[in-house]
Amino acid sequence: MKKAIDIRIKGIVQGVGFRPFVYNHALSHNILGSVLNDTEGVILHAEGDPADLKRFLEELPGAAPPLSMIMSVSEREAEVTGCTGFSIEPSRVAAERLAFYSPDVAVCDRCRAEFFDPADRRYLYPFITCINCGPRFSIVRDIPYDRVNTSMDTFPMCDRCRAEYGEPADRRFHSQPNACPVCGPRLSLHSAGRDLIASDGEDVARMTVDLLRKGAIVAIKGIGGYHLAVDARNDRAVAELRKRKRRPFKPFAVMVGSMEEADRFLEIGPSERALLLSKESPIVLLKEKSAALSREVAPGLTFIGLMLPYTPFQHHIFSLDPGMALVMTSGNVSDEPIVYRDDEAFERLGRIADYFVVYNREIIGQGDDSVLYVVDETPFFIRRSRGYVPAPFLSSDTRRPILAMGGDLKNSFALARSSFIIMSQYLGDMADPLTYRVFRSTVEHFIRIFDAEPEVVVSDMHPAYLTRQYAGELGLEGKRLIEVQHHHAHVAAVMEEHNLEMPVIGIAFDGTGYGTDGSLWGSEFLIASRGGFERAAHFSNFPLPGGESAIHDVWKIGLSLLHQCYGDAWPVMERDEASAGVIEIIKKRINSPHTCSIGRLFDGVAAILSLSRTVSAEAEAAQLLEETAMRGRIPAHPYIIPFSDSDPIVIGTEGLTSYIVSMIDKGINTEDIAAAFHQAIIHTTAAVARRIREKTGIYTIVLSGGVFHNRILLSGIIRILKNDGFIVCTHRVVPCNDGCIALGQIAVAKDSLIR
Ligand code: ZN
Ligand code: ZN
Ligand code: FE
C-alpha cells in the first residue's frame, strides 16, 4: 500500500541546491512526487512505500547540501495521486514570505580546481561559482531568491550557462550567480583618476601583484565591499596606508596565500585552523611566533588578525606570488562604514588608494569581514558579519515581529519573526553620520528582504543614543516601543543563546552603558531574568572627566582614580596645568559624570602605569595593559579588592588604586603589576560571585561585555568560577561586545510580549 505526505521545510533552503538534492534523494529512495520553492521555503510532495518514506525523511537532514540550514520540517498525510516520476515544479508565492538567504561563502574546492584548469571554460574567470559557494546575501535585492531579484539581473545567461542552470544534475542548477567569461561580470583595473589600465582578468591580476610588490595601495572590490590592500612586509607602504586612512593604532588584518605560509610566523591551534579553512573564512586573531610582517601592521600587539583567500581573484593573485603577505583592511576612512559602491569608492577612497580593482556587478548587502578569536580552543566572535550574516537563529515564538535597534557602538540590529531571529551585519558606531545613514537603510533593507514589518520596536535606554531616537520615530507609526537597560540586554543575549529561562547571575564587564539611575554603568553583577533584573554588585563610581570623550584621553581617567583615592596629594602622575584643569572640572562636577565602568578602569590603570596617555580607539589602552600583563608573573597571593556587605555590594575602586600605587612604590616592574591587576579583578569577581550565590542560591553565571575580549580575564574568570562549582555560560554566536545588544533586546521584548 502506497502512502503520501506533504512536507514543508523552513530554513536556508533556497539558492543552495536544495531542490536537486531532494530530487536525487527521492530517486535513491524510490520516492515519487514533486518539490518546489515558495516564499516560505521548500514544499515537497512524496509518495512511496511507508518504509521507503520513513527512510527518505529520516535521512534527509543529514544528507542536505553544504550551504543549507534546515530549521524546521513539518509533515502531514496527503492523498496518493499516483505520480509517475519525481519533478521540480515552478516556484510559487505563498501567503507568508519567510525564506532565508545563505550568507556569502568562500569559493568551493571544485570551483577553485576549475578556476586553475586551463581546459575549463571558466579558466581564471574571477566570478566562477556554483550552488555550493560564492556570493548570496551580498547580491540579494528582494524576495524570493531568484535571479531577477539579485544584482545578477543585468547579466543574461549565455546558452551554455543557461543549460547548466536548467539541468537538475548540474552543480550549477538554479545557481543564481551563475556566469562565465562570455556572459557574466568583468573585472577591471583603474587608476585613482578612474583611467582604465587593464580589463582582462589575467592582466588585472598580474598587474595588481606587480603594483602591490612596488608598495602601491590598491583598493580591491570584494564580496561585501572594498578592501584596501598593501604589502604587509613593506614598512613604508603600511605606514602610508595608516596615515591616509587616518588610523594610527587599530591593527590591520592580513591575508596570506596558504596555511603553510601562515604557519611560518603564527601559532595556530586546531580550532583556529578549522576557522581559517571554514567556508565562512573569517579573520582569526593569532599569536605571532616570529616577526615576519611590518611592525606597522599591529603596533605594540602580539596578535595578528589573519585570513586566507576566499574569492577566486584573491586565490589568483596569491598563485602569482605564493609568498606574499597583504594587509587587507576594510575600505573606509577612519571609522566610516565600508565602501561598497563603485562611484563612492573612487570618491571616498581616491585619496587613500593609488589603484582600484573594480567589477561591474553591484554589491547590495554590504559587510566587513568577520573577526573571531579562540580561547582554550573555544571560538568567540569580535565581529559577526560576512560568512555568518544573515543565517537565522532558532528562537521561541516571538508572537509579533520585533525590530531591535541594538546600541550606538559596534551596532548590529536584529529582526525577530515567528520562531527566528536574524542579526544584521556589523555596522559600526552611530557617532559617524554616514554610519547612521547606512544603519537606517540597512534596517529598511532587512525589513524588505525578510518581509518582517515590525510591530514592536526595542531600543537602549540611553537618552543620547541615535538608535533610540530612530526607534522613537518608528514609534510614531503606532508601533509598540520597549526600552531595555544596556547590561540587562548583554545578560539576556547570553540567556537567549543558551535557552536559559531561570534567573542567573549576569556579569557584564563593559565600556559604558546607561544605568537606571542615570549614571554610566559597566561593572555589573545582575540577578537577572529575561523580564527584569536587580543590581547585585558593581565597582564604586569614579568621575569621568570630560564625559564619554575620556575614552580617548585615558590619562584623565588615571588622574581621576588617583585623585579619588589620595585627594590633592595624588602620587605617580604629574602635576601641571593640564592636570590642574582636570581636577578642577572633577571638583566642580562639570561634565564629569560618574561611572563604574570596568573598561574605563582598565584605561585608567593603563594610564597610571604610563602605558598610554591618549588613544585613538576605544580599548586601545586596555589592550596594551593586557599585552603587558601577558609578559608579567602571576602573584602567589592574589589581591582581593575590598567590597561592602551592602545591597548592592560595592567593590572599592579606591582599594584597587592604592594596590596599584603600592606596587609602583615598591619598585615592582610594570609587567608584573599589570599581571597582578588582572589577577585581582579575576579573584575579586569570583569572591563577589560566591557572596551573591550565598544570598540567592543561583549557580548559573552568564558573562558578557566587551571587556571579556581580554583573554587573561575571560579564561581566568571562567576557570575560577567553574572550579567554584558555577555553571558558566558565555556568548557563542554573537560577540560579547555591543554587537550582542540587539539579541538581548529581542530576548527581553519576547518576554514582555507573553505577559
Ligand atoms: Zn563552487
Ligand atoms: Zn555564460
Ligand atoms: Fe556594552
Residue 446 Cα to ligand 1 middle (Å): 26
**Centre of ligand 3 from the C-alpha of residue 510, in Å:** 5
Question: What is the structure's pLDDT at 144?
Answer: 76
Q: Sign of the CA dihedral 229, 232, 237, 243?
A: positive
Report the distance separating Cα 489 and Cα 4, nearest Å. 47
Query: Which of 669, 684, 523, 549 lies closest to 609, judged by CA?
Result: 669
Burial status of residue 485 (CB atoms within 10 A of its CB: 0-12, 13-18, 19 or more): buried
Q: Rounded to the nearest whole angstrom, what is the distance from the C-alpha of residue 266 to the centroid of ligand 1?
A: 29
Is residue 418 very low, low, confident or very high in pLDDT (cuts 50, 70, 90)? confident
The most distant pair of C-alpha atoms in the chain lies apart, rounded to whole Å, by 94
Instruction: Retrieve residue 12's grid coordinates.
Output: 536556508
C-alpha 353/C-alpha 227 separation (Å) is 10
**C-alpha to C-alpha distance for 735 and 285, rounded to whole angstroms:** 14
Nearest to 423, CA basis, from 370, 349, 347, 355: 370
CA–CA gap between residue 193 and residue 9 (Å, rounded)? 51
Report the CATH fold assignment for 506-733: Nucleotidyltransferase; domain 5 (3.30.420)
Alpha carbon 703 to its chain centroid, in Å, reads 18
SS3 of the chain: helix, strand, coil, percent, to 5: 35, 20, 40
555 CA to centre of ligand 3 in angstroms: 22
The rounded distance, in Å, linking the Cα atoms of 293 and 751 is 50
Q: How far is the CA of 185 from the centre of ligand 2 (A)?
A: 10
Between the CA of 172 and the centroid of ligand 1 the distance, in Å, is 8
Cα(163) to ligand 2 centroid in Å equals 9
In the reported structure, the alpha carbon of residue 120 is separated from the centroid of ligand 1 by a whole-number distance in angstroms of 14
Q: Which of 205, 163, 193 is nearest to 180 (CA)?
A: 163
Helix (H) or strand (E) segment spanning residue 664 = helix 653-665
Predicted confidence at residue 746, as pLDDT, reads: 98
Cα-to-chain-centroid distance, residue 213: 31
Sheet with 420-423, side-by-side order of all strands? 393-394, 420-423, 414-417, 402-404, 456-460, 480-484
Average pLDDT over residues 182-200: 96
Contacts of 248 (CB under 8 A, 6+ apart): 242, 616
Rounded distance from Cα 599 to ligand 3 centre (Å): 10
Q: Report the share of the chain in percent with pLDDT over 90.
A: 86
Distance 578 CA to ligand 3 centre (A): 30
Please give the average per-residue pLDDT across 315-337, as a whole number: 95
- SS3 string, 386-436, reads CCCCCCCEECCCCCCCEEECCCCCCECCEEEECCEEEECCCCECCCCHHHH
Distance CA 244, CA 353 (A): 9
Amino acid at 560: S
Average pLDDT rounded to a whole number, residues 386-401: 92
Contacts 24+ apart (CB under 8 A), 92-97: 92/36, 92/37, 92/38, 92/39, 92/43, 93/38, 93/39, 93/144, 94/38, 94/39, 94/40, 96/39, 96/40, 96/451, 97/39, 97/40, 97/143, 97/144, 97/451
Q: What pLDDT is attached to residue 97?
A: 67
Q: What is the pLDDT of residue 376?
A: 94
Q: Which ligand is nearest to the CA of 65?
A: 1
State the CB neighbour count (10 A cutoff) for residue 534: 13
Phi, psi of 368 (to 5 degrees): -85, 175
Phi, psi of 616 (to 5 degrees): -100, -15
**CB-based neighbours (< 5 A) of ligand 1, an ion:** 108, 111, 130, 132-133
CA–centroid distance, 182 to ligand 2, in Å, is 5
Mean pLDDT for all residues in the chain? 95
Domain spanning 385-502+739-754 has what CATH number? 3.30.420.360
Average pLDDT of span 330-340: 91
Centroid of ligand 2 to alpha carbon of 301 (angstroms): 47
C-alpha 736 – ligand 3 centre gap (Å): 8
Report CA(419)–ligand 1 centroid distance (Å). Answer: 31
Taking residue 541's Cβ as centre, other Cβ atoms within 10 Å add up to: 19
Q: Which ligand is nearest to the CA of 16?
A: 1
Which residue ranges make up each domain of the chain?
3-101, 187-372, 385-502+739-754, 506-733
Ligand closest in space to the Cα of 175: 1
pLDDT at position 3, please? 94
pLDDT level of residue 335 (50, 70, 90 thresholds):
confident
Task: Tell me the pLDDT tens digit for each residue of 505-553.
Answer: 999 999 989 999 999 999 999 999 999 999 999 999 999 998 877 889 9
| Ligand number, closest to the Cα atom of 465 | 3
**Residue 571 banded pLDDT, cuts 50, 70, 90:** very high
pLDDT digits (tens, 9 = 90+) for 702-720: 999 999 999 999 999 999 9
Confidence of residue 127 (pLDDT cuts 50, 70, 90): very high
pLDDT of res. 15: 81
Q: What is the mean pLDDT of residues 357-381?
A: 97
- Which positions ≥6 away from 324 have C-beta within 8 Å? 209, 212, 213, 231, 256, 257, 317, 318
Pairwise pLDDT comparison (11 vs 286), residue with the higher score: 286
pTM of the predicted model as reported, rounded to 2 decimal places = 0.95
Phi, psi of 174 (to 5 degrees): 50, 30
Between 64-78, 83-97, 276-290, the lowest mean confidence (pLDDT) is in: 83-97
Read off the pLDDT band of 34 (50, 70, 90): very high
Lowest mean pLDDT among 221-225, 247-251, 376-380, 399-403: 247-251
96 pLDDT above the threshold of 70: no
Q: How far is ligand 3, taken at its centre, from the CA of residue 509, in Å?
A: 8
Average pLDDT, integer, range 148-164:
96
Q: Beta partners for 230?
A: 327
Cα(312)–Cα(323) distance, integer angstroms: 17
Query: Average pLDDT of 453-474?
Result: 96
CA 375/CA 284 separation, integer angstroms? 11
The x, y and z cell numbers of residue 177, run together, are 550567480
**Is the confidence at residue 459, as pLDDT, over 80?**
yes
**Better-predicted residue by pLDDT, 312 or 12:** 312
Distance CA(670)–CA(657), nearest Å, equals 15
Q: Answer yes or no: is pLDDT of 422 > 90.
A: yes
Name the nearest CA neighbour of 641 among 656, 658, 657: 656
Mean pLDDT of 439-461: 95
Distance 422 CA to ligand 1 centre (A): 25
Confidence of residue 193 (pLDDT cuts 50, 70, 90): very high
| pLDDT for the residue 16 | 87
The ligand whose atoms approach the alpha carbon of 163 most closely is 2
CA 362–ligand 2 middle distance (angstroms) = 18
Q: Are 482 and 458 in contact (CB under 8 A)?
A: yes
CATH 3.40.30.10 is held by the domain 3-101: no
CA atoms within 13 A on the CB side of 281: 25
Residue pLDDT, tens place only, 652-684: 999 999 999 999 999 999 999 999 999 999 999
The reply to whether 187-372 shares the fold of 3-101 is: no
Distance 37 CA to ligand 1 centre (A): 22
CATH code reported for the domain at 187-372:
3.90.870.40
121 CA to middle of ligand 2, Å? 9
- Using pLDDT thresholds of 50, 70 and 90, give the confidence band for residue 315: very high
Q: Which helix (H) or strand (E) holds 703?
A: strand 700-704
